[in-house]
Every structure is written in structure tokens, then in C-alpha cells.
Structure 1
Amino acid sequence: MANKYSLKWNSHHDDTFHTLQSLKDREMFVDVTLSCNGQLLKAHKIVLCASSSYFERILFRDGGGHPVVHFYGVEPGILQMLLSFMYSGQVEVPSADLEKLINLADNLEVKGLKAEKSKAGKPDVPAALDGSFDAGKHKLASSAFENPNIPQKVPRLNSALGAVASSSSSGGLGNASPKFE
């Protein structure tokens, strides 16, 4: 009988996510763009899908290419903080932005920040927060993010904030058309 050896890379998870963060920072191998108030944030589908069941659903539905996810009524800084959390598992948030970040994370079903409903029907504090967050004030804010100025031919999503569009092969965003099935 042949001996077997177990090889282990002790810092595998940390090294992998540091590399993904570095690739994002250098915009290498990014394959999805988040559009928010004219600001474009590039990311990796694999990180978004691993962190959010919402992104997993909409990016699976898109089918391929380099989709653009448009966010209406979301502050770019809040989305950037959420992306940082998704890539590193932690983020520093000013107290004035905490509720906005948690609401966005809840709408996008971000693991570790999504408030779970307790048996009493009240949202529990997300796992990533300490005792400083008042769960009684936490509400889903999807209606607060709806924008009446969005053209009616772009469908609004009930449970989230984005609409997916595929960019043209030339990389321009101007020719993007919403893609819903």
C-alpha cells in the first residue's frame, strides 16, 4: 500500500482573496461593471456570486460576456464600501453610512451582512456587526431606492436595486441595452 501525504497551504484563503483584491485594483480579469450615479466600479463575477445570492441569480441569468449592473439611487461610496466588504470580509463604515450599507447589503443578500429574520419576524443583527447597530431601526429600503425618473422600459427589480445590461463588444456602455427574461 502506497503512503499518502497531505499537503496544506496554510494561508490559501488569505492569499487568494488578497490576489483577487489586487487584480480588482489593477482592473485585471474583471468581468462585470457596477454603474452607480455615473461612476463605474469593476469587479469579478466570482467574488460577487460567492458573496451574494442576488448577484448569483442575475449574473447567471445574464449568461456571459461582461454585464453592466446599473444601480439607481445608491451612493457610489456605499457601493464601494460593500464591494470592499465582499472582497476582504471587512470594511470600516462611518456611523452615518452604516444603515445605508446594511440596507444595500440586505437588498443584495450579501453574506455576513444580510439581516436574517428571527422567529418573531424582526430582523436580527447581521453577523458582521457588533452590538452597536440597532436592529429595531433596520428596514429593507428597496422602495427608498426606486427612482421615478427611470424610463419605464427599464424594469425595476422588486427585491434589489440593479438592472443588468450587456455592454457592446467594443466595450462602450452607451450601446448597452437592458436584458431581462
Structure 2
Amino acid sequence: MTNMDEEMIALRWNNHLTTLSQLLYSLREEESLIDATLACDGKLFPAHKFVLSMCSEYFKEMFTTNPCKHPIVYMKDVRSEDMEALLDFMYRGVVHIPQESLSGLLKTAEGLQIRGLGLFAREAAADAPVVPSERSVVTGALEPSVMMSPERKRPYEVDHSESSLVNFSDGELDDTALHTPKKSKSDESTETPAPIPELPRVSEDMMMPSATFLL
């Protein structure tokens, strides 16, 4: 009898996904096989890198580009209640929160790119009034303020929060704006260029260790 003629038997694990979810949550509750720690609002949250990476592209990129045995991620401007709720959502797939906490939780979830909450965050953003500075506050709170590694971040970065793109309609353009005469060479030669500011040097003491991330 050839391999093609052999009868195949399927072995099925009933409630496989439910059991795995329960086992993952048990590992977190027992703090077993913990290999990452999230710190925010004065509290520490033990977690597993593979769970964070599966549920968040943000954490996946962080742990992939900055390999470390047990990283400690400090997250400023993130409430401990929101972090606890997001971890429950990632480990169990469901979380119960007060209505007044929904807006802040969705903003944090959007910044961390939590899978499964992106749709809720986009719908909430579409219903909410547009506030120009709101998005910059959310994303800025999650970006590292110091260099994580020499290849990944510079110690000083240009702030583009105040820059913007302006769309002009046809009625707003006139001949004066389109046909402004150019400056002559004599005028350009008399202008003094602005001095280039010198950035302060960064010593090794100012660098964060590779095992710690400040977000």
C-alpha cells in the first residue's frame, strides 16, 4: 500500500483557542516565563514579548530591532489603568472599562498599534471634533525621548509639530504672489546668513542602556 492509499486520521483539540487563551492568561497571572516589563504611572506590568509582538506592531518592531533578553519599557504619559486594560485585551481578547475611560484607552491603543482596537479608534476619531494638537500629544507621548540605540534614534530631533501644509484655492492666488520679482545679486550679497546653532554634545552618561526603553 502506497502513501497515497493510506487513510489519514485527524486529531482535533476541542476548544483549542479557548484553552490557549486561558493558558496565556495563567502565565501572566503566575508571572511565569516573563521576559518583558512595562513601566508606567509608577507601576510595573510583567508581560511576554511574543504576546506583545503578536498584538502590537509597535512592540514587534521595538523587540525585533532592539533584541534584549528582558527589556524594561518606560512609557510616560500612559495611565496605569489604560495599560492594565490593554494587557487584559491582548491576553484575553475582551476587556470591560468605564465609558469615561474609552477615549483615553483608544488613543493609547492607536499609538501602540494594538490589533483589534484600530477600528474602534478610527470610528471614535471620526465622530470626535477635530483638534489640531490632539494627535501630536498622543503620538508624541509614545515616541522615545532619548536614543534607544546608536543606529535607531538621534539624541536630538527636529520638532515638526508646528509645521503644516496649506491648500490654496484658485480665488486665493493672485498675480502678485505668482509674479513676485526676484532679488538681485547685489541684494542677496548684502544679506547676512543666519548663524547655525550648535547642538550640545551628548555624553555616554546621557545614553539609556540597551535593556531599557523610555517612551
Query: Normalising to structure 1: TM-score of the pair?
Result: 0.71
- Map of 2:93 onto structure 1: 89
Name the CA shift for 1:67/1:165 in 2 (closer, same or farther; >3 Å): farther
Instruction: Give the ranges of 4+ consecutive aligned residues of structure 1 lying more than 2 Å apart after TM superposition.
Output: 138-142, 144-147, 150-158, 164-167
Q: Any conservation in 2 of the 1:68–1:166 contact (CA below 8 Å)?
A: no
**Bigger radius of gyration:** 2
**After the TM superposition, which residues 14-163 of structure 1 pair with which residues of structure 2 at under 5 Å, given as runs?**
14-115=18-119, 124-125=122-123, 135-137=126-128, 141-144=135-138, 146=140
SS of residue in 2 equivalent to 1:17: helix
State how far apart, in whole Å, the 1-side matches of 2:17 and 2:83 are: 24
Query: Normalising to structure 2: TM-score of the pair?
Result: 0.60
In structure 2, what residue type is equivalent to 1:95?
A: Q
| Structure 1 residues 2-60: Cα deviation after superposition (integer angstroms, max 9, x where no partner) | 11111111211111111111110110001110010221000011111111111110011
Q: Any conservation in 2 of the 1:66–1:166 contact (CA below 8 Å)?
A: no
SS of residue in 2 equivalent to 1:90: coil
Name the CA shift for 1:135/1:109 in 2 (closer, same or farther; >3 Å): same
Aligned-pair CA distance for 1:166:
4.8
Structure 2 gaps of 5+ residues are: 149-154, 160-207
Structure 1 gaps of 5+ residues are: 117-122, 126-132, 159-163, 168-175
State how far apart, in whole Å, the 2-side matches of 1:165 and 1:14 are: 39
Indicate the structure with greater helix content: 2
In structure 2, what residue type is equivalent to 1:72?
A: K
RMSD between aligned alpha carbons?
3.1
The percentage of counterpart residues that share the same residue type is 29
Q: Any conservation in 2 of the 1:34–1:68 contact (CA below 8 Å)?
A: yes
SS of residue in 2 equivalent to 1:69: strand
Name the CA shift for 1:151/1:3 in 2 (closer, same or farther; >3 Å): closer
Indicate the structure with greater strand content: 1
